[in-house]
Amino acid sequence: SLSDRELEVLQLIGHWKKTKEIAGELHLSVKTIEYYREQIKKKLNLKDSAELAQYATAWVQRETPS
């Protein structure tokens, strides 16, 4: 299961934010966001950034009421 911060990062990825934008929004370093991205990929068993973006986008669409 993902931590609250990882879920926050996942949500921003799902809104097509770039790593640098996420870092600025959350007041964290780019390196920290890259670390979170790696942790999310590992925990969700995703092989690369494209798969992560695809998963995050689908997740955001499911979580957002229409």
Q: Decide: 53 and 7 in contact? Cβ < 8 Å.
A: no
Residue 22 CA to residue 33 CA, distance in Å, equals: 7
Q: Decide: 25 and 17 in contact? Cβ < 8 Å.
A: yes
pTM of the model: 0.93
Please name the residues in contact with 39: beta carbons below 8 A apart, sequence gap of 6 or more.
6
pLDDT tens-digit readout, 22-55: 999 999 999 999 999 999 999 999 999 999 999 9
Question: So what's the pLDDT on residue 63?
Answer: 86
Question: So what's the pLDDT on residue 38?
Answer: 98
- 3-state DSSP assignment of residue 61: helix
66 has pLDDT over 70: no
